[in-house]
Amino acid sequence: MRSRGGPLLLVVLTLASCRRVIVPQQKQPSGQVVPAATTAVIEPVASPPRSTNPEPVPDAAPSTCVRQSAQQFLIDAHLHDRALSDTKAYSEWVTRLQRSIRYRTEQYGYYSGFGSRAWNPRPLAHQMRVAKFAGLSVVLHERVIPALRCVEQVIERDCRETPYRPRSLGGARLTNTYFGGDVSNHVYGIALDIDPLDNPCCNCVEPWRSNPKCRGKKSDWERMAMPKCWVSAFEQYGFYWLGHDELKDTMHFEFLGDPSKGALTPAH
Ligand SMILES: [Zn+2]
């Protein structure tokens, strides 16, 4: 882990893997509409994180894939070195973080201790579903699963020259793995990890940074197994990749787009 001075160093050191920082967003054409994928399936949560949603879950009905970029104000709310450099920068980051927490609460649900239940009384756990992606099951928030379906469609169409088959996926988590005031997007069910051992986080805390793939001078792409084409597919539909980040968390995608675009389920 890079050396960071000041009283906030502990905050950085205690961040778990899959933390992220700001990076220039890769611009994608927006507003382009393409047919939705039909391969991913939404199912009720078999073993939900906290409780089962009693509401019926729509099948993978026809939806719309709308290209979009990750929203910059959500990217800007990531904790980074600059926010830890002085009190003023930290205060500005806290303001950005509060906006981000409010947005995520309003869009996805309330996580205890962060923001206000009044912004969205619907529990997060009631909105988690099992999605199929690349032949594997993963629990995610129902509002981002349509975008994931669109990603899979692009992968199947555009990534045949660089075949890749994940062995494990990680999605929603019950508890927050961040310290310092932020909330992991895994808690909101909008983050997805793909093959953590094969796509390491070389600047995260141990044991992640000890991954053999992180040794030696290599490009980001040489350190990971997932093809670049996959990253491009995710970024076309509002997912932000932390491989660009200074932490090099190459396993991690998080949906920072607008879930109302091409969403299968309406906003609550
Ligand atoms: Zn992650």
pLDDT at position 244 is 87
Tell me, in angstroms, the distance from the centre of ligand 1 to residue 221's CA.
18
Tell me, in angstroms, the distance from the centre of ligand 1 to residue 135's CA.
19
Tell me, in angstroms, the distance from the centre of ligand 1 to residue 202's CA.
13
More confident residue, 223 or 63: 223
More confident residue, 246 or 160: 160
Tell me, in angstroms, the distance from the centre of ligand 1 to residue 99's CA.
21
Arithmetic mean of pLDDT, 191-218 = 89
Predicted confidence (pLDDT) at residue 224 exceeds the cutoff of 50: yes
Tell me, in angstroms, the distance from the centre of ligand 1 to residue 14's CA.
15
Assigned token pair, 241 = 């990749």
Predicted confidence (pLDDT) at residue 67 exceeds the cutoff of 50: yes
Tell me, in angstroms, the distance from the centre of ligand 1 to residue 121's CA.
25
* Tokens 């969403």 -> residue: 263
More confident residue, 12 or 104: 104
How deeply is 181 buried, as exposed, middle or buried, from its count of CB atoms within 10 A (0-12, 13-18, 19+)?
middle
Winning range, highest mean pLDDT, from 33-42, 52-61, 80-89, 103-112: 103-112
Tell me, in angstroms, the distance from the centre of ligand 1 to residue 27's CA.
22
pLDDT at position 262 is 62
Tell me, in angstroms, the distance from the centre of ligand 1 to residue 97's CA.
18
List, for residues 227-267, the tens digit of each pLDDT value. Answer: 999 999 999 999 999 998 878 899 999 999 999 986 544 44
**How far, in Å, are 58, 75, 99, 241 from residue 146 at the CA level?**
11, 21, 25, 18
Tell me, in angstroms, the distance from the centre of ligand 1 to residue 159's CA.
23
Tell me, in angstroms, the distance from the centre of ligand 1 to residue 4's CA.
23
Residue type, 253: F
pLDDT at position 24 is 28
Tell me how crowded residue 168 is: count the other CB atoms within 10 A of its CB: 13
pTM: 0.77
Tell me, in angstroms, the distance from the centre of ligand 1 to residue 18's CA.
4
Question: What percentage of the chain reaches a pLDDT higher than 90?
Answer: 53
**How far, in Å, are 7, 37, 145, 171, 238 from residue 182 at the CA level?**
17, 33, 23, 18, 20
Tell me, in angstroms, the distance from the centre of ligand 1 to residue 154's CA.
22
List, for residues 5-44, the tens digit of each pLDDT value. Answer: 333 333 333 334 444 332 223 333 333 333 333 333 333 3
pLDDT at position 28 is 31
Question: Ion ligand 1 — residues with CB under 5 Å?
Answer: 18, 191, 193, 252
Arithmetic mean of pLDDT, 172-183 = 83
pLDDT at position 124 is 93
